[in-house]
Structure 1
Amino acid sequence: MIIQVNTDSSIENDSALTAHVESVVEKALSRFGDKITRVEVHLHDENAHKPGEHDKRCLLEVRLAGLQPQAVTQHADTTHKAIAGACDKMKNLLESLLGRLNQH
């Protein structure tokens, strides 16, 4: 599973952030690892450097072998909360999608 982290200009994309994203994504989606080819994580601060509630956004796009890409978005107060929330949403989406495919 390849994990690619993209950020806007207001979020510093350093090795610590990349390591955190990779760890959270791998932990949340590891059971689907054989079906996932790539995960793209897009982090964005919608208010840039101004304060605001729920202004951090995480868009998580998962590329599945032989299927259409799936994407979810999560807004939160912090980048870490947005990442965790997006991973939870994606885990639920993949459980539902792959569960339905296995039933057929």
Structure 2
Amino acid sequence: MQVQVQTDSHIDGREKLIEHVEGVILDAVDRYAGEVTHVDAHLGDVNGSDKGGDADMRCLLQARVSGVKDIVVKHQAGSLHLAIEGAAGKLTNALESALGRSHDRQRRHAGTGKLSADIARELDDGKMSDG
């Protein structure tokens, strides 16, 4: 999976910041790493560098996911790190919503058929006890 970090002109795009963003994103999509092919992170200062505020920093994440439309989430906060963490949490939730149900269906479908057949056979053969 590829992670690309872009910043606006008010954010210092240092290597340490990029490594931090990559690590947070990789943790956020870990469960769905097989389906997520690419994540773009867009970091920005909403009000410009000379003004502050409670929601001054923005992190927008766009994940490309196999078999699903792109997933885009955004979070604004008072600091860049809080914006990144908030967006990563939203991305995890969005992936869970988009992909979790399909994973659950696949697990239930694969397990239910065989398990049900085995239980039915044992019931027919009188091998199961009421314990």
TM, length-normalised to structure 1: 0.94
User: Larger Rg: 1 or 2?
Assistant: 2
Say how many residue pairs are matched. Answer: 104
Q: Which runs of 4+ in 1 moved over 4 A?
A: none
Residue in 2 that maps onto 1:63: 64
State the percentage of identical aligned residues. 42
Q: Deviations over 1:28-54 (max 9, x none)?
A: 211111000000000010111112221
Which structure dedicates a bigger proportion of its chain to strand?
A: 1
Cα offset, 1:27, TM superposition:
1.2
SS at match of 1:5: strand
Q: CA RMSD in A?
A: 1.1
Q: C-alpha distance in 2, partners of 1:93/1:68?
A: 12
TM, length-normalised to structure 2: 0.76
Which structure dedicates a bigger proportion of its chain to helix?
A: 2
Q: Which runs of 5+ in 2 are unaligned?
A: 107-131
Q: Which runs of 5+ in 1 are unaligned?
A: none
Pick 1 or 2: higher relative contact order, CA cutoff 8 A, min separation 6: 1
Residue in 2 that maps onto 1:23: 23
SS at match of 2:89: helix
